[in-house]
Every structure is written in structure tokens, then in C-alpha cells.
């Protein structure tokens, strides 16, 4: 078995250490004997490289880089990405990427950056950099995320998997994101700001695509999400459920607990 991961704009949108998500998914797949190829997809990359991928990742960036990537993303990459998301290819969009897949992002300065609306949401910067939403953040994944097909136990195929639904991370964004009526949030904020610091929710989920404000990076300290993405990629690629053998996640959850204890 193998997985092709499309990493969108690694040269522009990886400002907050989100490359750690690529490392986490790659290692957790390889530790299960799954070969992984990571494809850097940026401004000049042929869209066939994106189209042939099984998992999509796009990370965080400052407003300036978002503007540089914006036109290429909207006009060249997003039509392919929309089709992939619609047919169940999993994706993780972190912060600026989460903003970019919505209908628009109004940055701190300048005009709106239009988006493809793959996620029915919009984001507007507060207009005051002193009011950036920054800090450690803890949230509880909503039961609706697991749906009927994907629960922690069934995905990882080992009974001793505790139903860990707490996720931890670090957020740093000026944008406030508001979800459309049918778009489901990923999690309920326990500590921190989340999407907008007002409605108490964090992130969004559409089919197998996940948007989140969690840097940290997100996946190394929240292995359940990493495995959920790998599982969905395998299912969509091979057309059947392929349980993942258990891994010893002691270190991962020790790192998660360290963050929980700190805040």
C-alpha cells in the first residue's frame, strides 16, 4: 500500500511549523508499512500532481503570503481540490489554509482575498493586530466528527484505544472565521479562542476535509486525528476499510498532557 500526500505551498504557507503535520502523517503511515510520497505543490506545479494525490495538506501563513498564493490557489488549484474533497479525499487545512478554502478572507490591510468556497465560511481580520487571537488552545472534538463510519476504536482496530477526543494546539491568527449554517465545527473550545473567540467553536469539517486554527503542530500531539486522515485516505483510495495496527502513543499523549498541565 502507498499514499501520495499533496503539500500545498510549502514555500509560502508553512510559517508556523505546520510541516510537523506532514512528518507525523508520513511516519505514522510508514510505521504501518505504508509507503508515502510527499509532493510539494506550489505556484508553478502542474495540477496533475495534486489530482493524483490521496491526502491534501495546506498550512499557515502571514497575510502577505496568503495574497501571493491566493490567485494561483483560486484559479488553478482549487477547482481540482474541490473535486477531490467532494469524492472523499481527506484534507487538513490549518489557519491561513482554513481561511483560504472559504468564500473570502479580508486581511489586515488591503482588499478581500476571494476563495473557492470549498468550505462555506468567511474570515475577516479584526483590523487591530493588537487583538490577534494567540495562545495555547484546548478543544473537545464533537461526536458528529466521528460519524457512523469512523470511530477511534474502529479506525485503529485496537480495543484498548481510549476514546480520546481532546485536542491541544497553539493559535495565532488575526482573522475571525464564521461558518455557514450547514458547515459543522470540528470541536468545542475548552481553553483559548478557536474560530472567532465568540461562538465557542474551533475548526470545521466538510466530508473528509478538516479545517483548524491549531498550530503546534496539530497532528503530533493529537495522533487520533493523524490516524483518522490516514484511514480516510486509504479507504477512499482502495475502496475499503483498512484497519490500522495500533501504535504506542505514550510519547504523543505525554506531550499532549504536558500542554494540558501547562494551561
Closest chain position to ligand GLN (CB): 60
CB of 65 to ligand GLN, least distance (A): 8
Comparing CB distances to ligand GLN, the nearer of 95 and 229 is: 95
Cis peptide, bond prior to residue 194, ω within 30 of zero = no
Nearest distance from residue 166's CB to ligand GLN, in Å? 22
Query: Which residue in 125, 173, 208, 215 is the catalytic one?
Result: 215
Report the interface residues with ligand GLN, using CB under 6 A. 16, 60-63, 66, 95-96, 172-175
C-alpha cell, 243: 484497519
Choice among 95, 125, 173, 208 that is catalytic: 95
Which of 223, 226, 228, 221 is closest to 263 using CA atoms? 221
**Residue 228: which H helix or E strand, with range?**
helix 223-238
Minimum distance from CB of 194 to ligand GLN (Å)?
13
Q: What's phi and psi for 19, nearest 5 deg?
A: -60, -20
Q: Whole-number minimum distance, CB 107 to ligand GLN, in Å?
A: 7
Which residue number, 100 or 244, has a Cβ lying nearer to ligand GLN? 100
> Known catalytic residue: 125?
no
Are 97 and 79 spatial neighbours (Cβ–Cβ below 8 Å)?
no
Residue whose C-alpha is closest to residue 210's, from 147, 156, 127: 147
Quote the DSSP letter at residue 42.
-
Whether 95 is catalytic is yes
C-alpha closest to that of 8 among 86, 88, 70, 83: 70
Nearest-approach distance from CB 63 to ligand GLN, in angstroms: 4
Between 42 and 172, name the residue whose CB sits nearer to ligand GLN: 172
Contact 37, 78 (CB under 8 A): no
Nearer residue to ligand GLN within complex by CB, 19 or 51? 19
- Residues 191, 171: contact at Cβ < 8 Å? no
Residue 186 CA to residue 210 CA, distance in Å, equals 7
Q: Smaller CB distance to ligand GLN: residue 212 or 222?
A: 212
Catalytic residues: 95, 215
Amino acid at each position: 500500500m502507498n499514499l501520495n500526500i499533496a503539500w500545498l505551498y510549502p514555500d509560502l504557507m508553512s510559517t508556523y511549523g505546520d510541516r510537523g503535520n506532514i512528518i507525523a502523517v508520513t511516519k505514522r503511515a510508514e510505521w504501518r508499512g505504508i509507503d508515502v510520497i510527499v509532493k510539494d505543490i506550489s505556484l508553478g506545479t502542474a495540477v496533475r500532481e495534486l489530482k493524483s494525490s490521496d491526502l491534501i495538506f495546506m498550512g499557515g501563513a502571514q497575510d502577505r503570503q496568503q495574497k501571493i498564493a491566493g490567485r494561483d490557489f483560486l484559479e488553478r488549484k482549487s477547482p481540482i481540490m474541490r473535486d477531490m474533497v467532494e469524492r472523499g479525499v481527506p484534507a487538513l487545512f490549518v489557519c491561513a489554509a482554513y481561511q483560504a478554502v472559504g468564500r473570502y478572507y479580508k486581511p489586515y490591510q488591503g482588499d478581500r482575498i476571494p476563495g473557492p468556497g470549498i468550505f462555506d465560511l468567511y474570515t475577516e481580520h479584526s483590523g487591530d493586530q493588537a487583538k490577534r487571537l494567540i495562545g495555547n488552545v484546548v478543544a473537545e472534538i464533537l461526536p458528529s466528527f466521528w460519524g457512523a463510519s469512523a470511530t477511534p476504536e474502529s479506525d485503529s482496530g485496537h480495543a484498548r484505544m481510549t476514546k480520546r477526543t481532546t485536542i491541544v494546539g497553539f493559535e495565532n491568527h488575526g482573522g475571525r472565521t464564521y461558518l455557514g449554517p450547514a458547515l459543522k465545527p470540528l470541536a468545542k473550545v475548552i481553553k483559548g479562542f478557536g474560530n472567532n473567540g465568540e461562538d465557542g467553536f474551533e475548526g470545521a469539517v466538510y466530508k473528509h476535509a478538516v479545517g483548524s486554527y491549531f498550530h503546534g503542530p496539530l497532528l503530533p500531539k493529537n495522533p487520533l486525528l493523524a490516524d483518522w486522515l490516514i484511514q480516510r485516505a486509504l479507504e477512499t483510495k482502495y475502496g475499503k476499510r483498512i484497519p490500522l495496527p495500533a501504535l504506542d502513543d505514550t510519547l504523543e499523549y505525554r506531550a499532549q498532557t504536558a500542554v494540558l498541565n501547562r494551561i
